[in-house]
Structure 1
Amino acid sequence: MSVLDIRDLQTHFFTDDGVVKAVDGVSFSLDAGEVLGLVGESGSGKSVTGFSILRLVDPPGRVVGGEILFHGQDLAQLSNREMRSLRGNRIAMIFQDPMMTLNPVLRIETQMVEAVRAHERISHAAARDRAITTLAKVGIPSPAERLAAYPHQFSGGMRQRVAIAIALLNGPELIVADEPTTALDVTIQSQILAEVQELARETGTALIWITHDLAVVAGLADKISVMYAGRIVESGPTDQVLAAPQHPYTAGLLGSIPGHGRRGERLTQIPGMAPSMSRLPAGCAFAPRCDLASEMCRSTAPMVTETGAGQGYRCHHPNAAQKVAT
């Protein structure tokens, strides 16, 4: 049985301008120790997907359909109290801004010890020892001494490491990481990516890594799901999707990565902007920005097509999409 099985997830926001279908029929599964890269531009629905899994979507948004199966149990059907017992314990989230996790007026020791004792009957000393061990795992030097520090006394990279450590404290079976390295410099980012990947393999934790950058997940994720306008437009094993993208949006994201094309060539630019989620065009949502779009694309939304090798896509012209990538 999969650790996580998302089936036709739908999360809508009910606004004065109409219903915004932020997540519209998203499906994927994740096994123990597996890393999924959830990729897309800002506003594609990837972060809302992560918040929906942990039931953290605030009004006027709510999950209106689908199943969120965690070890076969539908999280959408649990009470608020049952969800609180899971969050930070068996399921954890790493936010883009570590200060969403860390309380600026409490020492790191207080925050980490409370995170352990909220879910487990354990002494303060034992919880402190676990905090020290976990800080060491994520590369915090002199972890016992740093427990006495406040969040503002850490650099941005160190604060994010502490946030990751808090997520790992209780040995969760699933972690949702929402662009946790976006604000960090490249050197720190690569260190954290390597550490997170190693920790996932060592502990068997399933990981969803949400990002806008395909280059980040290329060396991290076992499989990729590319989101656009609230839907997954392509998914499959990482190497397979990157080598032979079936959707022109995936090809466009790849073409915009420095070093992906031939030396001296200009980077590919995806024309236009992502559509308003409250006013999506008829047919394929990517059609207005796609050089390959036909009348069929503008009038008929493509269904999911499976390649037979674990790769799926929503596109009427998949063969042409591969040519775009090359």
Structure 2
Amino acid sequence: MTNLLSIKNLRTEFDTRNGLLPAVADVSIELARGQVLGLVGESGSGKSVTGFSILGLVDLPGRIASGSVIFDGQELVGCDQESLRKLRGKRIAMIFQDPMMTLNPVLTVETQMVETVLAHEAVSKAVARSRAVEVLGKVGIASPSERIGQYPHQFSGGMRQRVAIAIAMLHRPDLIIADEPTTALDVTVQGQILYEMQQLVSNSGTALIWITHDLAVVAGLADHIAVMYAGRIVEYGTAEAVLNDPRHPYTRGLLDSVPTTTTPGMRLRQIPGATPSITELGASCAFAARCNYVQTACTQMPEMSSLGAHQVRCWHPLMPGHVTKHSEVSR
């Protein structure tokens, strides 16, 4: 299967008072048309910066220091801004966690959606408006033909997010990067949005990168999962393999932290310690200070290595069927 998106050894840095901060380091991802990738990790792990880097939306003092982002045969790293503008919204769309990063508060939803269509397609305003109304209905906006004439402040937070999602879906793009877009939505609406996304992927072959910290969401949505920690991908594989048989201790810890996996009457399992500051990372494995299986080799950062259905960045990956003992996570 030909890849729509191929990221190789991506590194994105930010210049800070404490030196260069590698928010994304050595990230490699491949994604085919019609596939869904769940990009999972804690806050600050580099998930959102990875999404911004794909679209060339990293502003100073940040920059893509090295690596390659090839979209449908076109190299995007170093690409001129005009070429990127033609791709954004039309062939690659991004849904932000905050809908007001998409919506202009002084323009009606109709103006914003119609102009989005007209910016990339030579169609009449009537056709553009009709498409906008149709997509608003698909994301659960009641009476879309009337509400399209309203301003963002006349919508609730959850409704604004649905409008932002609708704008991303207007052109049936080749790739959608969704940065935790359903975090502010209730469970019922979240399910509706996920269903519409699945339909879009299935019917039009759109590829989807779903950035989240919620493993329950990607469990029912993603084909593949990439787990990020401290700017690096530490485990990558099919959703079934990663969720049912994780090989990296961090992935195992994330799964053990889910309340539904804890035996009734026992304390909630947790990963000891806290995520290290990226500015203070040394040469060792970033997870070493929190890992129950740390050994001498962990003083050096491991490379990604293939292990069955997984790629794992670990010197001592867990064995198949490994079950974490409660004593191991509550030391």
Q: Does 1:308 align with 2:316?
A: no
- C-alpha separation in 1, matches of 2:248 and 2:121: 46
Report deviation, 1:9. 0.6
| 1:110-135 Cα shifts (integer Å, max 9, x gaps) | 00000011111211111111111111
- C-alpha separation in 2, matches of 1:184 and 1:264: 31
Aligned to 2:329: none
- With 184-193 and 212-221 compared, the bigger mean Cα shift is at 184-193
The AA in structure 2 aligned to 1:49 is T
Alpha-carbon spacing, 1:22–1:38, altered in 2? closer, same or farther (3 Å) = same
Aligned to 1:317: 316
- With 213-222 and 35-44 compared, the bigger mean Cα shift is at 213-222
Report deviation, 1:109. 0.4
Aligned to 1:117: 118
Where do residues 36-51 of structure 1 align in structure 2 (5 Å cutoff)? 36-51=37-52
Report deviation, 1:161. 1.2
| 1:169-209 Cα shifts (integer Å, max 9, x gaps) | 11210000011111222332222222222222122110000
Report deviation, 1:263. 2.9
- C-alpha separation in 2, matches of 1:145 and 1:217: 34
Report deviation, 1:324. 4.6
Where do residues 101-112 of structure 1 align in structure 2 (5 Å cutoff)? 101-112=102-113
Aligned to 1:145: 146
Alpha-carbon spacing, 1:20–1:321, altered in 2? closer, same or farther (3 Å) = farther
Where do residues 259-298 of structure 1 align in structure 2 (5 Å cutoff)? 259-297=260-298
Report deviation, 1:301. 1.4
The AA in structure 1 aligned to 2:13 is H
- C-alpha separation in 1, matches of 2:305 and 2:323: 19
Report deviation, 1:255. 0.8
Tell me, yes or no, if the aligned pair for 1:2 and 1:71 is still in contact at 8 Å.
Answer: yes
Where do residues 112-191 of structure 1 align in structure 2 (5 Å cutoff)? 112-191=113-192
The AA in structure 1 aligned to 2:32 is D
Q: Structure 2: any 5+ residue segments left out of the alignment?
A: 326-331
Report deviation, 1:320. 5.6
Report deviation, 1:157. 2.0
- C-alpha separation in 2, matches of 1:322 and 1:5: 31
Q: TM-score, normalised by structure 2?
A: 0.94
The AA in structure 2 aligned to 1:162 is V
Moved over 4 A (4+): none
Tell me, yes or no, if the aligned pair for 2:246 and 2:318 is still in contact at 8 Å.
Answer: no
Q: TM-score, normalised by structure 1?
A: 0.96
- C-alpha separation in 2, matches of 1:264 and 1:214: 23
Number of residue pairs aligned between Structure 1 and Structure 2: 324
Report deviation, 1:271. 1.3
Alpha-carbon spacing, 1:2–1:74, altered in 2? closer, same or farther (3 Å) = same
- C-alpha separation in 2, matches of 1:43 and 1:36: 19
Report deviation, 1:283. 1.5
Q: Does 1:16 align with 2:17?
A: yes
Tell me, yes or no, if the aligned pair for 1:24 and 1:231 is still in contact at 8 Å.
Answer: yes
Alpha-carbon spacing, 1:259–1:15, altered in 2? closer, same or farther (3 Å) = same
- C-alpha separation in 1, matches of 2:77 and 2:91: 16
The AA in structure 2 aligned to 1:308 is G
- C-alpha separation in 1, matches of 2:300 and 2:37: 29
Report deviation, 1:155. 2.0
Report the secondary structure of 1:192's partner residue.
Answer: helix
* Structural RMSD (CA): 1.4
- C-alpha separation in 2, matches of 1:282 and 1:288: 13
